[in-house]
Amino acid sequence: MTGAPTAGLRVGNCSGFYGDRFSAMREMLTGGPLDVLTGDYLAELTMLILGRDRMKDPSRGYAKTFLRQLEENLGLAKDNGVTIVANAGGLNPAGLADALRELADRLGLDVTIAHVEGDDLLPRAGELNLGSPLTANAYLGAWGIAECLRAGADVVVTGRVTDASVIVGPAAAHFGWARDDYDALAGAVAAGHVIECGAQATGGNYAFFTEHAIGTPGFPIAEIAADGSSVITKHDGTGGAVTVGTVTAQLLYEIAGARYPGPDVTARFDTIELAQDGPDRVRLSGVRGEPPPPTLKVCLNRLGGFRNEVTFVLTGLDIDAKAALVREQLETALKANPPAEVRWTLGRTDHADADTEEAASALLHCAVKDADPKVAGRAFSGAAIELALASYPGFHVTAPPSDASPYGVYTDAYVDAREVPHVAVLPDGTRVDIAAATEIRALSDVDDPALPEPLPQGPARRAPLGLVAGARSGDKGGSANVGVWARTDEAWRWLAHTLTTAELRTLLPETAELPVRRYLLPNLRAVNFVVDGLLGEGVSSQARFDPQAKALGEWLRSRQVDIPEVLL
């Protein structure tokens, strides 16, 4: 990958997860100029899915969607001079690289393919005290990608790298950044964090979506400068919107405190400055960087057992009594061979004097887990259905009985970065070892910044928090984060003093007994909360109604608080 060091780099994204819009790659390649097209295909749950694929066939373990996308678009990318970088290699980046070479030969294209490996620690799990997982993958950084690009690769595929690395690597190669150009690297990390999740940066899943014509949002682009600053934008004529609000929302997605650690740099998210730079253009600048921590995060997945569920529909009067009856009956039926875990949830979706049957109905959900698929399978669902003619009036369920399905358990671990190989396999097959960072700094929280001056006392009105604040939430293993931001300085002065940890626990009772941490990000007029344990053993364990906490922020915004009239 070449280019004058001062020339900007236009990096687009076409995937935020394995299953994202298939046509996005072509849309990005035909919608306007790009230098690099990236894709993020991996998540904690995806690694589990790929691990199960690899159990069935050792030659699998990568994102097959990416291969199908390139079958349609590899020639287009080559013609347009666009380099492609993606983490679609999953558990088998070498296998994906070989498949891409076969594809290029079949299509008659002169395309050079490289890959990055070393993240898969499964063969060394015992040695590294990681237990006996199904998958064990360290989060690598950007320098292997940069090495492949400097060697002239047209396509680079990786295994588990940090989500932003697919953006940082091309920028580092293009501008010739050194390992200690921390501010530039941190700026690229921030830009990468914004665009790696696809259309969430262009109006998708946005709290104030009613203020924009979202339609089908285009995918985001970061125009990265030599100093690491960037402009977040999208192709002209595509749907959605790029505003300070949409970029703020994505910056708050799945983070913790002001220090955002990575294998190459710790980015200071409390230094980020945002400014509208024209229609659908947001300038992101001022990001400071620090040396990375000495350890790399490792994503561990194991098979946890088997799960099953049934949802009883309770209609009309006496909802609580109906729920109590069927619960007592089912628990009695299961006493002879009870599942290891039984969880009941009653969703009061019913309305009094409803004009439709659905609006008159509540949902009683029962989920079970057990190591034995027979106990969690037909023994459970059969017992539930046997109550059909012997329980509450109006008995029915939302789906027929089913067999148990396996579920996974996610945990994270940390290993010394020097213990993890990081290898760039260049287009000619040369293997280049990428050294771990030599300058490191233990991660610590930033001291709490000073609170802004509170708003003067005045009349207030009981109203939903979301009238004056946006929110974005997500999952980090068994924990969840919810970032909340204000859109004016006055609203920030109120929010910073009002939305305390205690207030969050009051507004979201599910968090009341859990560890909750609050972080202030004044530059973004935001507070970020991390709730440990809300998601149990991670998304694949399905521990709650919203297993990835994607709507936790919207629940919070719907809660009523006393809001100063001046803000309304």
| 154-170 core/surface letters (b: 16 or more CB in 10 A; e: else) | bbbbbbbbbbbbbbbbb
For residue 447, is it within any domain?
A: no
Q: Are residues 245 and 360 in the same domain?
A: no
The closest alpha carbon to 160, from 546, 421, 487, belongs to 421
Retrieve residue 98's tokens: 């070989």
**Cβ pair 33, 10 in contact under 8 A:** yes
pLDDT number for residue 3: 36
Q: Are residues 56 and 198 in the same domain?
A: yes
Q: Are residues 266 and 311 in the same domain?
A: no
Q: Are residues 249 and 340 in the same domain?
A: no
Reported as type and span, the H/E element at residue 217 is none
Q: Are residues 318 and 238 in the same domain?
A: no
For residue 558, is it within any domain?
A: yes
For residue 316, give its domain range. Answer: 302-409
pLDDT number for residue 45: 83
For residue 214, is it within any domain?
A: yes
Question: d(Cα 196, Cα 178) in Å, to the nearest integer?
Answer: 23
The closest alpha carbon to 541, from 313, 380, 309, belongs to 309
Helix axes 165-175, 182-195, angle to 10 degrees: 140
Q: CA 472 → CA 140, 302, 421, distances in Å?
A: 26, 29, 35
**Cβ pair 265, 237 in contact under 8 A:** no
Q: Are residues 246 and 360 in the same domain?
A: no
pLDDT number for residue 2: 37
* DSSP structure string for 235-261: -TT-BS---HHHHHHHHTTT--SSEE-
**Cβ pair 568, 551 in contact under 8 A:** no
Amino acid at 379: A
Q: Are residues 201 and 324 in the same domain?
A: no
Domain count, the chain: 3
Token pair 């939305």: residue: 499
* DSSP structure string for 18-61: TTS-TTHHHHHHHSS--SEEEE----HHHHHHHHHHHHH-TT--
For residue 453, is it within any domain?
A: no
Report the Cα–Cα distance between both ends of the chain, in Å, rounded.
Answer: 52
Averaged in consecutive runs of 10 residues, what is the pLDDT profile of the chain (568 residues)? Answer: 60 97 98 98 90 90 97 98 98 98 98 98 97 96 98 98 98 98 98 98 98 96 98 98 98 97 98 98 98 97 94 98 98 96 95 97 96 95 96 96 90 96 98 98 94 96 98 93 98 98 97 97 98 86 84 98 97
Question: d(Cα 208, Cα 462) in Å, to the nearest integer?
Answer: 20
C-beta neighbour count of 403 within 10 angstroms: 13
The closest alpha carbon to 425, from 22, 98, 187, 75, belongs to 98
Question: Which spans in 196-318 are helix H?
Answer: 244-251
Q: CA 120 → CA 271, 276, 300, distances in Å?
A: 34, 41, 10
For residue 446, is it within any domain?
A: no
Q: Are residues 290 and 315 in the same domain?
A: no
Residue 322 is classified by DSSP as H
For residue 64, is it within any domain?
A: yes
Whichever domain contains 377, its CATH number is: 3.30.70
Retrieve residue 169's tokens: 């690597």
Question: Which spans in 252-356 are helix H?
Answer: 319-333
For residue 2, is it within any domain?
A: no
Q: Are residues 220 and 188 in the same domain?
A: yes
pLDDT number for residue 400: 87
pLDDT number for residue 540: 72
pLDDT number for residue 4: 37
Retrieve residue 502's tokens: 């205690």
Q: Are residues 277 and 313 in the same domain?
A: no
Contacts of 99 (CB under 8 A, 6+ apart): 62, 67
Q: Are residues 464 and 384 in the same domain?
A: no
Question: d(Cα 267, Cα 190) in Å, to the nearest integer?
Answer: 7
The closest alpha carbon to 198, from 229, 161, 227, 238, belongs to 238
pLDDT number for residue 6: 47
For residue 228, is it within any domain?
A: yes
Question: d(Cα 140, Cα 437) in Å, to the nearest integer?
Answer: 11
State pTM to two decimals: 0.95
